C-alpha cells in the first residue's frame, strides 16, 4: 500500500510540480487548467438540465475495413476518426444538437466544430476540428493526429481549442465500458464512447461473436428534446454499423 501511495504521489508531483505537507496531511495544489476545468464543469452541471441515453453499436464491419482504408487512403484511420466523422455527419442532419440558448432563442451553429478530449501531460484538453461536417474521413484523420500530437507536446494554440459546437469523449482506450460525459459549457451535446468488447449476440437466428461498443449521449434539454436526441443517436448508430457510408 505504501509503495502504491508513493508511486501515486510521484505521478501527482510530476503533474502538479509541488506537494504541500503539514504535520498530519498532504495537499496537492490545483493547476491552472484543473481550476479552469472545474469551474467550467460546475457551471455546466448547474445550468444544463440534461437527459441521458445509451445504445450498443455493432462495429465489427467498421473495425474490419480500417486496415483496408489505411492502405487505400495512405492515412491511419483510428476508431476515433470514425466517431468524429459520424458525429459531424449526424449533426448536419440534426442541427439542434449543435444549438445553444441565446436569450429566448436557440442559436444554430453555422459550422459543426467537434471538440474531442485528449489526455495530455498538462491535463485534459479539448482540441477542436473546425467545420468537420465539410471534411472527408482522411482529412479528419490527419487533423485529429496533428491536434493530438500538439496537445501531447503542449503546443495547442487558442485557435486550436476555440469554437467547439459539439463534443466527443472516448474512454474506451482505458478499458471503460460506458460512461456519461458532462456537456461542456459552449455546447449542448456530448457523445461518450466506451471500450469495444467482443460480445456473443444473436444474428439471423444464430449465435455470433461481434465487436460491440457503448455510445452514451448527454444533452441539454433546454434546446433538445429526448425524442430528437434519441433519433440523433440512432442515426449515429446506423452510420457506424454501415461504415461504407462514412468513407
Residue 235, pLDDT score = 98
Question: How many separate domains does the chain show?
Answer: 1
Cell of 140: 479528419
DSSP state of 31: P
Burial status of residue 91 (CB atoms within 10 A of its CB: 0-12, 13-18, 19 or more):
buried
E strand or H helix at 53: strand 50-58
Contact 238, 60 (CB under 8 A): no
- Compute the C-alpha angle 177/180/81, nearest 5°: 70
Q: 3-state SS string over 121-184?
A: CCEEECCEECCHHHCCHHHHHHHHHHHHHHHHCCCCCHHHHCCCCEEEEECHHHCCCCCCCCCC
Compute the chain's Rg from CA coordinates.
20
Separation of alpha carbons 205 and 112, rounded Å: 40
Identify whether 10 is part of a domain.
no
Please write the tens of the pLDDT for every residue from 181-235.
999 988 999 999 999 999 999 988 899 999 999 999 999 999 999 999 999 999 9
| 126-139 pLDDT, tens digit each | 999 999 999 999 99
Q: Considering the domain boundaries, does residue 54 fall inside one?
A: yes
Residue 168 lies in a domain: yes
Give the N- to C-terminal CA distance of the chain in Å, as an integer. Answer: 49
Is 126 within the bounds of a domain? yes
Q: What local confidence, expressed as pLDDT, does residue 22 receive?
A: 74
Our CA dihedral for 184, 87, 193, 69, rounded to 10 degrees, sits at: -140
CATH number of the domain where residue 176 is located = 3.30.559.10
Residues 80-103 pLDDT 10s = 999 999 999 999 999 999 999 888
Domain limits at 229?
50-246
Instruction: Specify if 180 maps to a domain.
Output: yes
Question: Do residues 168 and 117 make contact, with C-beta atoms less than 8 angstroms apart?
Answer: yes
pLDDT above 90 coverage of the chain, percent: 70
Given its phi and psi angles, is residue 50 left (phi above 0), alpha (psi -120 to 50 degrees) or beta? Answer: beta
CB 172 within 8 A of CB 193: yes
* Predicted local confidence at residue 35, as pLDDT: 85
Number of C-beta neighbours around residue 237 at 10 A: 19
Q: What is the pLDDT of residue 55?
A: 98
The pTM of the whole model exceeds 0.85: yes
Q: How far is CA 39 from the centre of its chain?
A: 19
**What is the reported pLDDT for 16?**
46
Q: Give me the residue label for grid cell 454501415.
A: 242
The whole-number pLDDT of residue 116 equals 96
Q: Give the position of cell 460480445.
A: 199
User: Is 108 a residue whose pLDDT tops 90?
Assistant: yes
- C-alpha to C-alpha distance for 136 and 34, rounded to whole angstroms: 34
- 206 — phi, psi (to 5°)? -125, 160
- Average pLDDT value for residue range 20-36: 81
Give mean pLDDT, residues 98-126.
90
82 in a structural domain: yes
pLDDT band at 41 (very low <50, low <70, confident <90, very high): confident
Q: What local confidence, expressed as pLDDT, does residue 151 receive?
A: 92
Assigned domain for 216 exists: yes
3-class secondary structure, 75: coil
Asked whether the predicted pLDDT for residue 13 surpasses 50, the reply is no
The answer as to whether 31 is a domain residue is no
Amino acid at each position: 500500500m505504501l509503495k502504491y501511495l508513493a508511486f501515486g504521489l510521484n505521478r501527482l508531483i510530476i503533474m502538479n510540480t509541488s506537494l504541500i505537507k503539514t504535520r498530519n496531511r498532504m495537499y496537492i495544489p490545483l493547476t491552472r487548467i484543473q481550476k479552469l476545468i472545474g469551474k467550467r464543469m460546475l457551471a455546466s452541471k448547474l445550468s444544463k438540465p440534461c437527459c441521458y441515453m445509451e445504445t450498443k453499436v455493432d462495429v465489427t464491419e467498421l473495425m474490419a475495413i480500417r486496415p483496408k482504408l489505411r492502405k487505400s487512403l495512405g492515412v491511419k484511420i483510428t476508431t476515433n476518426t470514425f466517431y468524429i466523422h459520424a458525429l459531424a455527419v449526424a449533426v448536419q442532419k440534426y442541427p439542434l444538437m449543435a444549438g445553444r440558448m441565446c436569450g429566448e432563442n436557440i442559436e444554430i451553429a453555422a459550422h459543426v466544430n467537434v471538440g474531442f478530449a485528449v489526455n495530455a501531460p498538462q491535463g485534459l484538453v479539448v482540441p477542436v476540428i473546425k467545420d468537420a461536417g465539410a471534411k472527408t474521413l482522411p482529412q479528419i484523420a490527419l487533423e485529429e493526429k496533428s491536434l493530438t500530437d500538439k496537445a501531447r507536446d503542449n503546443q495547442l494554440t487558442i485557435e486550436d481549442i476555440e469554437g467547439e459546437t459539439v463534443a466527443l469523449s472516448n474512454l474506451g482506450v482505458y478499458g471503460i465500458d460506458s460512461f456519461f460525459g458532462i456537456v461542456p459549457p459552449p455546447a449542448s451535446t456530448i457523445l461518450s464512447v466506451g471500450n469495444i468488447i467482443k460480445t456473443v449476440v444473436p444474428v439471423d437466428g444464430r449465435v455470433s461473436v461481434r465487436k460491440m461498443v457503448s455510445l452514451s449521449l448527454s444533452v441539454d434539454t433546454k434546446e433538445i428534446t429526448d425524442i430528437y436526441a434519441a433519433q440523433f443517436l440512432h442515426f449515429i448508430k446506423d452510420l457506424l454499423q454501415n461504415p461504407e457510408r462514412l468513407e
